[in-house]
Amino acid sequence: MCPGMVKRAFVFPGQGTQLKETDVRYILSLPNASDFIKKSSSLLDLDIEDLLLRGISPKDTEISQIVTYILSLSLFYTLEARGLSADVVAGHSLGEYSALTASGAISFEDGLKIVRERGRIMAEACREIRGGMIAVIGLDREDVLEAIKDVPDVEAVNFNSPKQVVISGRESALSVAEDILKRKGAKRTIRLEVAGPFHSSFLKEYGERFYNNFISDLKIDKPKIDFVSSVNGRLIREENEIRECLRVQMYSPVRWVDVVRTLEELGEVDIIEVGATSVLTGLIRQTSSKLNILGNALEVLEKIYGR
C-alpha cells in the first residue's frame, strides 16, 4: 500500500446473523454472487440457495458456518467484479477464513473444506459441552475481567469494542457471571445465538484436533492483500504466522478492538463490511472516529446500482 493514499478495508463477519428474505433474494439476483453460490453448492453437494431462502438458525453451527463463508465470498467477488477491490482484509472469528480466502492466502476450494470441517468439529463440541456466550454492554475490558475473575468456567473471549465484551463458558456459570456483571453496572447483557462456548479454552481439545487433521498441512500462500488477524490484532504476512493463528483461533479470544487500532495506523481507510448486515461496522463506529464507514456490501452495491 502506498503512503498517503486512501485505503479500502474489507471486513468479514462471523456466524450468528440471520438474514432478511429480501436481502437473500437481492443477493441471489446478483449474477456474480448467484454463480458463485451455485458453484459452491455443486462442490459441496448442498443446496446453498435453498438453505438461504429457508433461513438458518445461528445455533446450527455446522451449516451456519459454511453458508456464512460462501455468502461473504459471493459478495466479495461481486464487489471485485464491480471494480471495488480491497487493500487490506480482516475477519471476525469465522470471518477470518473468508478474509484469508479473499487475500489469496488460501484457495476457495480449501477454504470450503476446512470451514465445513471446522463447523462439524465445533458442532460436536456443542453437543458435548452445555455452554454459550453473552455480550456485555457498557463495561470496559478491565471491569469485565475483574467481575468474572472468581467465577469458574467463564472467560472473556471477544473484545469487540471499548464497551462491548463477550464472555463464554458453561451455561450454569454464565448465569452466575451475568448476575455479577449486572450488579457491577453492565447496561445490558445479550445471550448470543450460538450453540456453545466458542473462543474459550473449552474448545482447545477440538481446536487442536482440527489443526492436526486439517490446518497443519493446509497450503497457505503469502497474502496478495494485506491481512489483519483477529487472533492478535496485527498485520501478518508470512505463512508460518498465518498457520499459527489458525492453530489457536478456535479457542483464542477475538481481539477486534486491536484490529480496528491496526486499521487506524494505516492512515485514511474506507471500510466495507462484506456481508448483508452491519454488525462489524457498528463495532468499528463504537471504537474509532478515524475510519470511514462506507456500509455493508449490500448498501454499497445498492448505492451504485440500485436494487
Q: How does pLDDT run across 31-41, given as a tens digit for each residue?
A: 899 999 999 99
The CATH number given to whatever domain includes residue 99 is 3.40.366.10
**Domain count for the chain:** 2
Query: Tens of pLDDT along 243-291?
Result: 999 999 999 999 999 999 999 999 999 999 999 999 999 999 999 999 9
pLDDT band at 149, cuts 50/70/90?
very high
Residue where a domain terminates, one of 191, 223, 240: 191
* Burial class of residue 60 (count of CB atoms within 10 Å of its CB; 0-12, 13-18, 19+): middle
Query: Tens of pLDDT along 81-109?
Result: 999 999 999 999 999 999 999 999 999 99
3-state secondary structure of 291: coil
Residue where a domain terminates, one of 144, 159, 191: 191
pLDDT band at 192, cuts 50/70/90?
very high
pTM of the model: 0.95
Q: What is the mean pLDDT of residues 149-153?
A: 96
Cβ burial 235-257 (10 Å sphere, 16+ → b, else e): bbeeeebbbbbbbebbbbbbbbb
Is the pLDDT score of 2 beyond 70? Answer: no
Question: Does residue 159 sit in the same domain as residue 114?
Answer: no
Question: Does residue 86 sit in the same domain as residue 214?
Answer: yes
Question: Does residue 94 sit in the same domain as residue 204?
Answer: yes
What is the domain extent for residue 177?
A: 130-191
Question: Does residue 95 sit in the same domain as residue 156?
Answer: no
For residue 61, what pLDDT is reported? 87
Question: Does residue 209 sit in the same domain as residue 285?
Answer: yes
For residue 18, what pLDDT is reported? 76
Whether 2 is in a domain gets the answer no
Active-site residue set: 93, 199
